[in-house]
Amino acid sequence: MTKILHRTIDANLPKAVAGNGIYITDSEGRSYIDGSGGAAVSCLGHNHSEVLDAMRKQMSRISYAHTSFFTTEVAEQLAEQLVELSPQGLDYVYLVSGGSEAVEAALKMARQYFVEIGQPQRRHIVARRQSYHGNTIGALATGGNALRRAQFKPILPETHHVAPCYAYRDMEASETPEAYAERLAIELDAKIVELGPDKVMAFVAEPVVGATLGAVGPVADYFRRIRRICDKYGILLILDEVMCGMGRTGSIFAFDQEGIIPDLLTIAKGLGGGFQPIGAVMLSDKIYRAFAEGSGLFQHGHTYIGHPIAAAAASKVVEILKRPEIMANVAKMGDRLQAGLDAALGQSPHVGDIRGRGLFRGVEIVADKNTKQPFDPARKMHSRIKKEAMKRGLMCYPMGGTIDGARGDHVLLAPPYIVQPAQIDLIVEKIAAAINAAVIN
């Protein structure tokens, strides 16, 4: 009998006892391809010798020093690496212990920034429906997934939501991508005007939506239009790259592919590669200066921020991600994964869309390809696919409620960046078999 409150009661989970490369082994000796990197976390696979060595070296020096008393060389080094990698405009780093913490910190930074510069009336946060920004209260309120929010709604702070950029479902047949992007931009502009342009503090979005939509990227110049609207009204743009960042879409930062720079950026998951819990907020110089020239502090903090061993792991992960062959492999294997999925599932009457960037791909499951009609939510098709995939030795990241938090199913694939061609082919073979078995049974 377990004494752990697991995510699902009586789930009867296998016990993971070993990991190596893209594989995890359980206590019964079964091996699983980590086709989702856990939750898009294990970007370099498991048991990476360079990362483990970096952690051991840091342990032999110092394992913990509270950031109200000390900084550490390794934390400073990590911040410098991240700023060096980012385009000009993201000049400082605030280290945390995960994605939800990063989003909470970014929201507080946005609020404190406006207090510091004499605009305390700015309080509204605007995000997008069917987004996911974490499970702490502020992050959950910012996220737009109706199902995740439902039972906690009475205790969530007020936030506001506009339509996501979800072309498969929402772009009209007569619309060009540019016209669709403009329609969404007009909706955001109208929402800001409705709330009061001088009362909105931030717009929050994932460059490529992960968990709740399944690797949905923007169309045309959507984010350039969003950036212009934020600038027009003096609103901060917060981009959440907790899942889609740190190389997952083929560039270190997903926003690089959009030709914009956010005011605040949240990263986690791939930052530590699963070797240690870590996340970060990257912030612009104007926000830093507002704090430095105002109160002189950021009124926020957690016990384990800037943890030396976590920083050592992340620093080595970042060093590895900078190697040209890593991003080259993400691009090459991402193309192979997309091509394989198209060939194996493109003609399936139960696969509506196959999408994504780099090693971040989503497959949307439908009852009818022609009408895009989803399966009855009672069938829990996403859960069936996960079960069938695990039976075949494949980990994937399935999710229900794709369309509106209740209806729709998708599967997310996010294998480690070290994946090889034969392994990509195995992932395709196993996920196709799992989907076909799930929809038939």
- Against a cut of 0.85, is the pTM above it? yes
Separation between Cα atoms, residue 371 and residue 214, nearest integer Å: 19
User: Of 398, 379, 378, whose CA–CA distance to 387 is shortest?
Assistant: 398
Buried b or exposed e, range 271-302, using 16+ CB within 10 angstroms: bbbbbbbbbbbbbbeebbebbeeeeeebebee
Whether 16-34+324-440 shares its CATH topology with 52-321 is answered no
Q: Which residues, 6 or more positions from 341, have their beta carbon under 8 angstroms from its beta carbon?
A: 354, 361, 363, 413, 428, 431, 432
* DSSP letter string, 324-335: HHHHHHHHHHHH
For residues 278 and 313, the answer to whether their CB atoms sit within 8 Å is yes
Topology of the domain covering 52-321: Aspartate Aminotransferase; domain 2 (3.40.640)
**Domain 16-34+324-440 homologous superfamily, CATH:** Aspartate Aminotransferase, domain 1 (3.90.1150.10)
Phi-psi region of 362 (alpha: psi -120 to 50; beta: other; left: phi over 0): beta
pLDDT per residue rounded down to tens, the chain (441 residues): 799 999 999 888 999 999 999 999 999 999 999 999 999 999 999 999 999 999 999 999 999 999 999 999 999 999 999 999 998 899 999 999 999 999 999 999 999 999 999 999 999 999 999 999 999 999 999 999 998 999 999 999 999 999 999 999 999 999 999 999 999 999 999 999 999 999 999 999 999 999 999 999 999 999 999 999 999 999 999 999 999 999 999 999 999 999 999 999 999 999 999 999 999 999 999 999 999 999 999 999 999 999 999 999 999 999 999 999 999 999 999 999 999 999 999 999 999 999 999 999 999 999 999 999 999 999 999 999 999 999 999 999 999 999 999 999 999 999 999 999 999 999 999 999 999 999 987
- Domain range summary for the chain, segments of one domain joined by +: 16-34+324-440, 52-321
